[in-house]
Amino acid sequence: MRIVPILALVLFGACRSEPASLERLLKTCQEKTQANFTYGPETATVLREHAYRLEGSEPSTKDAWLELLRGALAAQGLELERIGPGHIEVWLVTPKKG
């Protein structure tokens, strides 16, 4: 059967793949949640320089995506702060306060 060699190639490729940047994770969360995220130049540098690899299955809800993002950002000393009017979901990524 050809399924086993193909599956082995897929798994090998997945294991060798480079982790995505936190910036890429942020963009994926924006696509999955339809929320808007913004950040300044210093935060952009942190997001580009630090990698993140999704472990396990992909989150299935908006809240799960936001929790995943909060955890990944917290590991780098960043947090999400909701800004703007209530009917528009905009999050500012900032260094943790205090």
CB-CB contact of 43 with 50 (8 Å): no
The per-residue pLDDT for 22 is: 95
Q: Of the candidates 14, 1, 25, which has an alpha carbon nearest to the alpha carbon of residue 73?
A: 25
Helix crossing, 62-74 with 22-33: angle to 10°?
Answer: 160
pTM score of the predicted model: 0.77
Q: What is the pLDDT of residues 19-52, one digit of tens each?
A: 889 999 999 999 999 999 999 999 999 999 999 8
Rounded Cα distance between 80 and 61, Å, is 18
pLDDT single digits (tens) 3-13: 544 444 444 44
Domain topology for 19-95:
Phage tail protein beta-alpha-beta fold (3.55.50)
Map out the domains of the chain as residue ranges: 19-95
- How many degrees, rounded to 5, is the angle at CA 62 between CA 58 and CA 64? 55
